[in-house]
Amino acid sequence: MVIAARTAKPELIGIYLNDHYAGATAGVDLARRIAAAHRDTKAGPVLQRVAAQIAEDRVALKQIMDQLGVGVARHKIALAWLAEKAGRLKLNGRLFRRSPLSSLLELESMTLGVHGKAAGWRAMYRMARHDDRIDTSRLDTLLARADWQVEALEEQRIRAAEKLVGGGSR
């Protein structure tokens, strides 16, 4: 019989997971905005799938937090939400409509976010060695999905970069 060796620093694990949860909150909003902006393009279906998966990943993280007895730090969620909204105010060469630069910057941000999420899943995988409340088979699935998301976002990011210099289609 395997007995869970509970994490030695549960408060630090809670901070870590809440930081990822806050990032996931901003990531869901950004992914949905990217998908909506590209809804009527060839990239639309892929970006809709990415956005849906990112929302599912946030739910999965919350479930893991619940299993570990980690509560949600609402102030971090609020700050992440505000940061995502503030990120929309960047200068992109256009005042009242989207610029091709908006797509490139958003896709780059989203790609970085997914890399961060995957790093979190890998860290939790290591934690699972000491805490059997963490389901490694679920983490395997989440990591594989993150890999697919990075590939899908990277393809769209390259297309957005090409469009910026006049070499790509929407």
Q: Do 101 and 164 form a contact (C-beta atoms < 8 A)?
A: yes
Total structural domains in the chain?
1
pLDDT in tens, 10-52: 788 998 999 999 999 999 999 999 999 999 999 999 999 999 9
User: Which residue range is the domain that position 27 belongs to?
Assistant: 10-164
169 domain residue, yes or no: no
For position 164, what pLDDT does the model report? 84
Cβ neighbors of 31 (< 8 A, separation 6 or more) are 47, 50, 51, 54, 55, 110
170 domain residue, yes or no: no
Is-above-0.85 flag for pTM?
no
Exposure string over 82-93, b if 16+ CB within 10 A, otherwise e: eebeeeeeeebe
- C-alpha 95: how far from chain center: 27
4 domain residue, yes or no: no
Of 154, 56, 157, the residue nearest 102 (C-alpha): 157
3 domain residue, yes or no: no
Please report, for the domain that includes residue 15, its CATH number: 1.20.1260
1 domain residue, yes or no: no
